[in-house]
Structure formats: structure tokens, C-alpha cells
Chain A
Amino acid sequence: MDTELYQLELAIDQIGNKAAEFGLDFFPMRFELCPADVLYTIGAYGMPTRFTHWSFGKNYFRLKTMYDYNLSRIYELVVNSNPCYAFLLEGNTLIQNKLVIAHVFAHCDFFKNNAWFAKTNRDMIETMSVNAEQIREYEFLHGQREVEKILDSALAIQEHIDFYQIVKEKEEPEYQKKCQRENPYEDIWSIGEGEKEEVSPEEKRFPLAPEKDIMGFVMTNSHSLKDWQRDLLAMLREEMFYFWPQVETKIMNEGWAAYWHARILRAMDLSDEETLEFARLHASVLQTSRSQLNPYFLGMKIFEDIEKRWDKPSPEDQLKYDRRGGEGRDKIFEVRQMENDQSFLRNYLTQDLVRDLDLYLFKKQGSQWKVSDTEWEAVRDGIVGNLVNGGHPYLTVEDGNFRGNGNLYILHHHEGVDLDTYYLERTLPYVYDLWGKTVHLETILEERSVLFSFDGKKHTRTSS
């Protein structure tokens, strides 16, 4: 047994005990010590095992470059699974790894207890491994390029799933049985059955209501996909469902982990040298930036503020909310269970915090980026607004049989920010490849409604 491993084993033991004393509740932990290139491989794929695609290679290269330039020396990697896997970097100093270990214990507590993760698959490592194996099989059968083509297209729309709908399905298996449905869209075939009245074709809506789950809709109703291609979409949709809550709780999750790694390490017997090194590392994790929010910093500050306000409530809070004081710890544990980033910020980012942390919104004016808002509610709403739907545009399928000839009609629910048209025109062909017939997307540009269409050969833009 090598000394590095032995020292880490001791540290894990101590830190695990401390974390449990503080009330953190986590799955059994499996730490792996691995070399840098393996660490950023896992970082690039988001998981220890996943299918093969060039975009992961690109990501891998980016992380590797960051590491080589010394931009990210500590890199925490933890998988939401039971047991919970976490990866430590060989050659990190012991104190660096201690910080990462404490950080990871807190992440694991979050995965286990936050409500949004209740329905995630805790065996996802195995599932992804099976998916990867299946996709390799498809490559063998149909050729690497054919598989890559479908993956390229599927990845282009992977954010467009309906997380809450899938949660509902997972919660109510009975509900599915009752309808005897094999898929969420099957009920469209039975529209009108049982009702003897003939519905005129104009009144038949397909889908019945606007459908946010574009991945699922295309997978089920595509004109051109073969079974194995639909299977690829199903796998990617499932993987996206697994990642979704992580996207929706990033600020909370990182804030929670930073909050706890600081407290756990302060509660340990560190040498002077380690204390100094820890302070330096902690500061680097919390470094703020003028041009983007640091989730570690912001999340931690909000948790600390909640704790303070429930521990020592102001006289008016005592009266108004009947707050007795001394409830800070309980309160933050409750918050970490109930909220996601949007509700967390909406409920707990206060006027004082916005001012003290000097948060602002900025936007492009001419060729310069300038501060546009510092008023606290505007700032809070701006930050929350950017988090809606994981930061992705909200799109729904409005019509799967547009103009009666099987065209796909997607609507962008415009909430004040235009889409990137360069990207839009390059993404539509991917949707076309999956759908097999002309695809349309309606959005608003410069306050005018515009319809983008792609028919497999050419793009058209129609303003109305």
C-alpha cells in the first residue's frame, strides 16, 4: 500500500466522520485516485463511462489545456450515484485533496437529499456503460459515421426534454398502465375513439397540447428514423434527464459544498502550513469575476446569510415571521432539500446581499460591455431569468403535421432575448435530419415575428 493512498485513507476517514457529525447525510463513498489525464477525461464526459463522440474529445482537450496551463489545479469530480464515486488527482498535495474530499462529501449529501434528485437513476454509471456498449454495437453494425451523424443531430437538441413530465411519469407508473401506453404519445392514436362524434381534421391537434419534449416527440413521430436511431435518441434523452437537476441546482450545490468544505477543514487539526495553504486554495475557489457569476461564491454567501438571519433574526423578522433565532443550521438543511437555483435565488437573494456582494447586470452597448442594472430586484430577476429552463431557450412543438403534410412546427417562447440566428440556421438541419420532413421554427427578432424553415436543401425566412 503506498503512502499517498494511506494518507488519503486516513483523511477520508477523518473528514467523513466530521461530515457526519455536522449532520451531512451521504451515500457510501468510493474514492479513486487517478492521474490527471484520466481526471479530465472523466470531466469531459461528465461520467466515468460514456459513449464516444468527438465533442467529448474537444472538451477533453480544453480541460487538458487548462490543466497544462495551470488554470485548474484542483478539480473536483463526483458522480451522483449510490455508492457515490469521486475522483482525486494523483500528485495533488494532501491538503488540496483534503479540500476536495470535504467538498465531495457535501455534494453527495446534496445529491442524496435535494428533492430535484429524487427521481434520478442512482445506477447511471451502469446505465451509461450499457448505453456506450450498445452504441458501439450500432457502430459495428451501421458504421461509425452513420452513428456519429445521428449523435450530432441528437446532441444539437438534447436540452429540449421535459424534465417535469418525465418525473411525473416516473412517479406514477400506475398512470401509464392505466392508459396502457407504451409511450407518452400513444394516446394520439386513440383520439376520438369512444367518442362517437367525428372530429373534423381541423380540430385534430397533434400534439394535443404544445410539447416541450422535442427529443421525445421527434423520437416517437419521426418520418425517417430507423429503430436503432430512435434508440440512440432514447438513450441521450435518458442521460439528459439524469443531468438536468445538476444544471438546475449548480449554484446551490457548489455553494453548499464550498460552505461545508470550509467548515469541515476548519474543524480539523491542520498544521500551520496546511492552514495557510488551505486559505489560499479556498480563496482561489471563491474568486469572483466581473463578467460572470462564481456559483461557489454566490451559493456559499447565500447559505451563510440564511444561517445568520435565522440564527439572529432582526427584531422585525422576529415579529413578522415569528422567528425565534438559533434555527440557522436547520434552516439551511431545509433549504438544501427544497429548493433549486431559481427558487433559491428568488427566495433568499436579498437586497443587502446584492449590495454587499456588488452584484450587477451588464450588457453590450456598442462595442463595450457596460453595467446596466444595480437595482437589487432587477439584478435578482435578471439572474433568475437567465436560469430558466437551464439557461436554454424554451421551445415547444406546436404542430407535428403542419400544413397537413407532416412538417414540424416549433415555437420559441420569446421572453425578451432574441435567439442566435447563426446557430439557429445551423441547428435546424439537424432537426430536419431527425424529423425527415421540412422543419419550421417561429421566433421573434427585433420585435418582429419570423419563421425559419429548412426543407432539406434550403433555408427560408418569412417575416410576418
Chain B
Amino acid sequence: MKDQSIISRDNWSLHRKGELDQQRHNEKVKEAIKNNLSEIISEESVIMSDGKKITKLPIRTLDEYRFRFNYNKQKHAGQGSGGSQPGDVIGTEPGDGSGRGPGAGDEPGTDYYEADVSFEELSEMVFADLVLPRLKEKQKENLKAVSTRFNDVRKAGIFSNIDKKRTIIEAIKRNARQDSGKHNIIRDDLRFKTWEKVYSAESNAVVLAMMDTSGSMGNFEKYIARTFFFWMVRFLRTKYQNVEIVFLAHHTQAKEVSETEFFNKGESGGTKCSSVYRLALELIHERYSPDRYNIYPFHFSDGDNLPSDNETCAALIKEILPLCNLFGYGEITSPYYRNSTLISVFQGINEDNLTVVTIKNKKEIYPALKKFFSEKGESGGH
């Protein structure tokens, strides 16, 4: 038999095919996510994840499509431990993945792919083409020095930056895998923190986030507005160090609220948008002088304003516009017809630094973000 069988050990170091093709696969995952950003960023699970957990997103576009049977209409075969009877419940999910022998092949129902996308990765994609438009240098009293931020973990680095916790976790995992009973740490387990220099923006900016919390703003309208502000706040905090965000909520009266309140507020009553514009103007005069700040008021409403208030609004907006870099107004249009909404007021104003969008559904949040936060700072239009 000896002449028949040979065993050898080759140098496999060049054998990286799987890794390379996996990279291409990951590229495609990212492409798929990018193509679906409009849908993904308005997913409740993403908004609720609070940016902490890894968000699992089923990326359907990575299926390997072929002609196949409808799994849910097929009869499948299984095996019990004796005496199974018709009507026995096997489970609410097919293919529990147990009982797979070595080298189990592809079963139907297991060939969809769930990408693990961390919130940071997702944010990066969302923020890729967003900028604070028309940013100008102002007096630099809030300028922050260059700071470092630890933001990644790698397998190589200097020992002063060793990440003890992750190193030990790696060692435990490896020892468990090897079943060796040893608990040593080898070089391969080491994990190091790396950092990047963060340069602060050389400008101070303040965003006045204004939201209509009146009774006419239903769950859907609030969800849209909150989703928009959720991403806006994260974007500004990720990319700019010197951005202050002030939260203003209004119905017939406006007041400054905390971030938590802003995102959880529900009110009732009518709507007077002029109240919030007036408050914004006061804040600009008291705290955020245009000499020192880039000012960005953003207002979201369903536009259901008291008609008698519209003229007041127009006057206030015209007063704010020269003071700010960009004024953004987003109107969430409802399916039922209203004869006149606040948007008509804005349509009567033709200024370069005014951007108006309408949002009909969840998918339009991302385009709205892009429209507000683009360098062109396009004005008007829909």
C-alpha cells in the first residue's frame, strides 16, 4: 500500500483565494447596503439600536438567485427519536442547523445571508457624502487642539497600547478551540489599540433643531422627523467637534428642550410655527452671534400651520435668513389633502441659503439628508 498513498504538507501561504473572494463578497455587501441606504436608515431596528449594538441587516441582494422550489410549500423529511405522529410540531423555524454532519451541503433555507454591519460602518456610509454646507471660518475661540481618538483594534502595535481585555478574550477563545487545557497567551492573540488624530473643525457651528410636536403630527410624521434628526445629530457629532445642537420643540408655543425630551416628546394642540422661529431668533441674538457662529436652523413640520400665522412666519424667516448659513425646512406631507401648508410661505421666498424638501415616506429621509447637507447648498426646489 505504501507506494499507493502519499501524504505531504505543502506551503500554503500563497493560498489566499478564499480571503480574496470574500473581500469581493464584502464589497458587494457594502454595495448592496449603499443601494438600500434609503430603506435601511429608516429601519426602526437601526434607529432603536442607539448606535451601540452591531446591527444585523439581512441583505437580500446577496442571495444567489436560481430557479428553486418554494421551501414553505414543500414537504421535507426529518427524523424523530421514535413514535412521531402526524400533527407533532417540529418548530416554527425550519432548518435549526443542528445535526449537521461534517461537510454538510447547502440546504435550502440556509443560503440567505445576513450581514453583520456595525452601526459605525453604516454611519460611515451614510455620512460619506454629507457635509455642513457653506461653512465659514469664524472667530476661533472654541477651537480645540488636535486630539487623539482610539478607534480601532489591530494585531500589531506597540506594547504600551496593548488592549488587555481583547487579548485575553482572544487567548481564551483560541485555547477553547484547541481544547488544549492550557491558558497561555501567544503572539497571535495580542491585540493593540490604534488611534487617529482628530483635527477639530476650524469653525464653530450651531444647529437649531426645530420640531413640530403639535397634535396634527401623528406617529408617522414624528417618526420621519425623529429619524431625520437622529441621523443629523449623529452626523454632526461624528464629523465636527465644534458643533452645538440646540433642540427646540413647539406647538403653539416653543421651548428649548433636552435631547431626550426632543426625541420623546408628544404634545397636542394647534400649531404656530412663528413661535419657534421667534425663539430661534432670540437665541441667535443672545447666544450665537453670526460673527462667531455658523448657524443652521432646521425645521420639520407637517406644515399644518394656523393660516393666520403664516404671514408672521414669512417675516421671521426673512429676518433669520441673512444671519444663518443655511435654513432648512422639511415638510412631511400626509396622504390627505390640505389646501394650504407652510410650504407655500417658503416657496414665496427666493434665497440661496434656503433649502426646502418634502418627505412622503420613509425612503425619502436619506435623499433629504443629502439635500440639506451637500456642499452645493442648493436652494428651494423639490
Residues of A within 8 A of B (CB): 2, 5, 8-9, 12-13, 16-17, 20, 28-35, 37-38, 40-41, 43-45, 52-58, 60-61, 64, 68, 70-72, 74-77, 88, 90-91, 155-160, 250, 254, 284-298, 357-364, 367-374, 379, 382-383, 386, 391-393, 395, 412, 417-421, 423-424, 426-427, 430, 441
Q: B318 near A: Cβ within 8 Å?
A: no
* Residue of B26, B27, B178 touching A91 (CB-CB under 8 A): B178
- B147 an interface residue at 8 Å Cβ cutoff? no
- Asked if residues B77 and A379 are in contact (CB atoms below 8 Å), the reply is yes
Pairwise interchain contact A287-B25, C-beta atoms closer than 8 A: no
| Other-chain residue from A12, A40, A383 in contact with B7 (beta carbon distance below 8 A) | A12
* Inter-chain contact B103/A58, CB cutoff 8 Å: no
Give the residue name and chain of the A residue nearest to B93 (CB): A369
Q: Nearest CB to that of B82 among chain A residues?
A: A358
Query: Which B residues lie within 8 Å of A91 (CB)?
Result: 178
Chain B residues, Cβ within 8 Å of A441: 67
Give A31's nearest chain B residue, CB to CB: B7
Question: In the assembled complex, how far is the CB of residue A214 from the closest CB belonging to chain B, in whole angstroms?
Answer: 9
A445–B21 CA distance with the chains assembled, in angstroms: 37
From B87, which residue of chain A is reached at the shortest CB distance? A370
- Give 7 closest A-B pairs by Cβ, nearest first: A289-B99, A57-B21, A41-B18, A60-B18, A57-B22, A57-B25, A31-B7
Give A24 Cβ to nearest chain B Cβ, in Å: 12
Cross-chain contact B17 with A72 (CB below 8 angstroms):
no
B70–A421 CB distance below 8 A: yes
B28 at the binding interface (Cβ < 8 Å): yes
Complex contact A287–B86 (CB within 8 A): no
* Assembly CA distance A293 to B105 (angstroms): 12
Please tell me if B183 contacts chain A, counting CB pairs below 8 Å.
no
Determine the chain B residues whose CB is within 8 A of the CB of A392 once the complex forms.
Answer: 66-68
27 A-B Cβ contacts within 8 A?
A12-B5, A13-B1, A20-B1, A30-B5, A33-B8, A41-B15, A43-B103, A58-B22, A70-B177, A91-B178, A157-B67, A291-B94, A291-B96, A294-B100, A360-B80, A363-B74, A367-B92, A368-B92, A369-B91, A370-B87, A382-B77, A386-B75, A391-B108, A393-B67, A393-B68, A420-B69, A421-B70
Cα distance A16–B6 in the bound complex, in angstroms = 11
CB within 8 Å of A: which B1-53 residues = 1-2, 4-10, 12, 15, 17-28
Contact B76 A363 (CB under 8 A): yes
Complex CA gap A38/B24 in Å reads 18
Q: Chain B residues with Cβ under 8 A from A41's Cβ?
A: 15, 17-18
Query: In the bound complex, do residue B101 and residue A254 qualify as a contact, i.e. CB atoms below 8 Å apart?
Result: yes
Whether B337 sits at the interface, judged by CB under 8 Å, is no
Quick check: B75 and A424 within 8 Å, CB to CB?
A: no
Determine whether B89 belongs to the interface, using a CB cutoff of 8 Å to chain A.
yes
Q: B77 touching A369 by the CB < 8 A rule?
A: no
Convert B119-152 into 0s and 1s, putting 1 for each residue whose CB lies closer than 8 angstroms to a CB of A: 0000000000000000000000000000000000
Assuming the A-B contacts A54-B21, A386-B74, A417-B73, are A358 and B105 also in contact, with contact meaning beta carbons closer than 8 angstroms in the complex? Answer: no
Count the B residues whose beta carbon is within 8 Å of the partner chain — how many?
72
**Chain A residues whose CB sits within 8 angstroms of the CB of B12 once the complex forms:** 34-35, 38
Distance of B110 from chain A, by nearest CB (Å)? 9
In the assembled complex, which residues on chain A have CB atoms less than 8 Å from the CB atom of B158? none
- The listed residue (B24, B28, B96, B178) touching A290 by CB distance below 8 A is B96
Given A12-B5, A32-B8, A423-B63, also A383-B15 (CB < 8 A) = no
Least Cβ distance of B247 to chain A in Å? 42
Tell me the bound Cα distance from A88 to B7 in angstroms.
9
Cβ-neighbour of B85 out of A74, A371, A423 (below 8 A): A371
Q: A285-B101, A418-B73 are in contact. Are A369 and B94 (CB under 8 A)?
A: yes
- CB–CB B107/A74 < 8 A: no
Q: Is there an interface contact between B66 and A74, defined as CB atoms closer than 8 Å?
A: no
Residues of B near A361 (CB, < 8 A) are: 75-78
Contact A426 B65 (CB under 8 A): yes
- Contact of B75 with A369 in the complex, beta carbons under 8 Å: no
| CB of B90 closer than 8 Å to a CB of A | yes
With the chains together, A17 CA to B3 CA distance in Å? 12
Q: Which of B8, B75, B103 contacts A372 (CB 8 A)?
A: B75
Chain A residues with CB under 8 Å of B87's CB are: 370-371
CA distance A55 to B63 in the complex (A): 9
- Cβ-based interface call for B98 (8 A): yes
Q: Is A373 a contact partner of B75 (Cβ separation < 8 A)?
A: yes
Partner of B25, one of A33, A43, A58, A296: A58
Say whether B160 faces chain A, with CB atoms less than 8 Å apart.
Answer: no
Beyond the given pairs A54-B28, A285-B102, A362-B76, 5 more chain A to chain B contacts, judged by CB atoms under 8 angstroms and listed by A's residue number, are A9-B7, A32-B7, A287-B101, A289-B100, A358-B84
Instruction: Decide yes or no: A369 and B89 within 8 Å by CB, A43-B103, A57-B20, A57-B23 being known contacts.
Output: yes
Answer whether residue B72 sits at the interface, using C-beta atoms and an 8 A cutoff: yes
- In whole angstroms, how far apart are the Cα atoms of A422 and B244 in the complex? 47
> Would you give the shortest CB distance from A410 to chain B, in whole angstroms?
9
- CB contacts under 8 Å to A, within B169-187, are 176-178
B71 at the interface (CB under 8 A from A): yes
* Residues of chain B lying within 8 A (CB to CB) of residue A35: 12
Minimum Cβ distance to chain B for residue A149 (Å): 12
A285 to B2, CA, bound (A): 29
With a cutoff of 8 Å between Cβ atoms, the chain B residues found around residue A250 in the complex are 105
- The one of A12, A56, A371, A423 that contacts B21, using a Cβ cutoff of 8 Å: A56
On whether the beta carbons of B79 and A359 are closer than 8 Å, the reply is yes
Report yes or no: B78 in contact with A55, Cβ–Cβ below 8 A. Answer: no
Residues of A within 8 A of B245 (CB): none
CB of B260 within 8 A of chain A?
Answer: no
